[in-house]
């Protein structure tokens, strides 16, 4: 009802589990999938991974829902290709704004909660793929990646490093290409897992 109330949005499908969500994403080519994590059968993490790894669904963005304080699986969802996450008590206007943000190709990362969540999870034993190596990055690109991990947008990165916003955006795009990640959400994960940004670093 909320999405349908917005003049620039429409609901093209509703799924009861992750497998159905993947099927609908393929059938409808939705711009954004708002994905719950905890579902029967195929959960939201696996569904996100399937969508992100399917070549003809490259334009479909996933925005995951989490209870935040109790659902640390959100980090795995970001690793799997989600463009960001929302807590389930997000206000209606913020939900619509988040969908627009993700549809526009940006990641939705609230700096404080995101950094705290990732830092807490990464203190524990790692069970996923090996961390991405940062060797391909230049010193400037490492600086930019550090600021991305601290939650800064392109304009803020440009101000911090005395660059133009376009140059900052170009750096971010090149970093994603070199590290072979989909978006800023995965860049944050890479920055923490590689040790470039440590839990508790200032600015996070």
Residue 199 near residue 122 (C-beta atoms within 8 A): yes
Neighbouring C-beta atoms of residue 58, cutoff 10 Å: 11
- Please state whether the predicted TM-score (pTM) of the whole model is above 0.75: no
Angstrom distances, CA of residue 8 to CA of 58, 59, 97, 136: 22, 18, 11, 40
How many Å apart are CA 143 and CA 60, to the nearest integer? 29
How many Å apart are CA 147 and CA 204, to the nearest integer? 9
What pLDDT sits at residue 141?
95
Q: Which has the minimum average pLDDT: 6-10, 82-86, 168-172, 200-204?
A: 200-204
What pLDDT sits at residue 79?
79
Q: Which segment, 18-27, 106-115, 182-191, is predicted with the most confidence on average?
A: 18-27
Q: Does the pLDDT of residue 13 top 70, yes or no? A: yes
Q: Does the pLDDT of residue 151 top 80, yes or no? A: no
Interval 64-120: pLDDT, tens: 888 765 666 777 887 788 888 887 788 888 889 889 988 887 776 655 555 566 666
Neighbouring C-beta atoms of residue 104, cutoff 10 Å: 10
Sign of CA dihedral 167, 171, 173, 174: positive
Residue 145 binned pLDDT confidence (cut-offs 50, 70, 90): very high
């Amino acid at each position: 009802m909320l999405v349908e109330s917005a003049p620039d949005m429409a609901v093209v499908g509703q799924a009861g589990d992750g497998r159905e969500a993947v099927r609908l994403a393929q059938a409808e080519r939705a711009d954004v999938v708002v994905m719950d994590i905890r579902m029967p059968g195929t959960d939201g993490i696996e569904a996100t991974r399937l969508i992100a790894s399917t070549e003809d669904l490259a334009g479909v963005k996933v925005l995951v829902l989490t209870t935040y304080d109790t659902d640390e699986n959100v980090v795995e969802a970001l690793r799997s290709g989600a463009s960001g996450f929302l807590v389930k008590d997000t206000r209606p206007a913020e939900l619509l704004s988040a969908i627009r943000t993700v549809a526009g190709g940006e990641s939705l990362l609230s700096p404080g909660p995101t950094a705290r969540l990732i830092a807490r999870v990464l203190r524990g034993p790692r069970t996923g793929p090996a961390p991405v190596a940062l060797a391909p990055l230049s010193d400037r690109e490492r600086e930019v990646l550090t600021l991305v991990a601290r939650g800064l947008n392109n304009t803020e990165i440009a101000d911090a490093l005395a660059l133009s916003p376009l140059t900052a955006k170009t750096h971010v795009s090149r970093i994603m290409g070199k590290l072979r990640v989909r978006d800023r959400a995965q860049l944050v994960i890479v920055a923490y897992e590689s040790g470039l940004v440590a839990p508790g670093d200032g600015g996070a």
